[in-house]
Chains A and B, each alone.
Chain A
Amino acid sequence: MFLAKVYVTLKPTVNDPQGLTIKGALHTLGFGAVHEVRAGKYLEIKVEGNDVQKASSQVQDMCMKLLANPVIEKFRFELEEIKPA
Chain B
Amino acid sequence: MKFGIVVFPGTWSDRDCYYSISNILGQKAAYIWHKDTDLSGFDCIVLPGGFSYGDYLRTGAIARFSPVMEAVADYSQKGRPVIGICNGFQVLCEAHLLPGVLRQNDHLQYRCQWTYLKTINTSTLFTSKCKQDRVLKIPISHYEGRYYADDDTLKELEDTSRVVFRYATPEGQVTGEANPNGSLNSIAGIINKQGNVLGMMPHPERSCEDILGSTDGNLIWESIIASI
Contacts and interface: CB of A to CB of B under 8 A. Distances in A.
Interface of A: 13-14, 17-18, 21, 41, 66-67, 69, 71-72
Interface of B: 57-58, 61-62, 65, 93-94, 100-101, 103-108, 148-150, 182
A41 B107 CA distance: 20
Nearest to B62: A66
A71 B61 contact: no
The secondary-structure label for the interface of chain A is: mixed
A70 to B, nearest CB: 10
B57 A66 contact: yes
7 contacts: A14-B148, A17-B104, A17-B106, A17-B182, A66-B62, A69-B58, A72-B103
Contacts of A67: 57
A7 B58 CA distance: 15
B104 A71 contact: no
A66 B61 CA distance: 7
Given A17-B108, A66-B62, A71-B148, 9 more contacts: A14-B148, A18-B104, A41-B57, A66-B57, A66-B65, A69-B58, A71-B93, A71-B149, A72-B101
Contacts of A14: 148
A71 B108 contact: no
B101 A71 contact: yes
Contact of A17 (B61, B100, B107, B150): B107
B61 A69 contact: yes
Contacts of A13: 150
Nearest to B146: A17
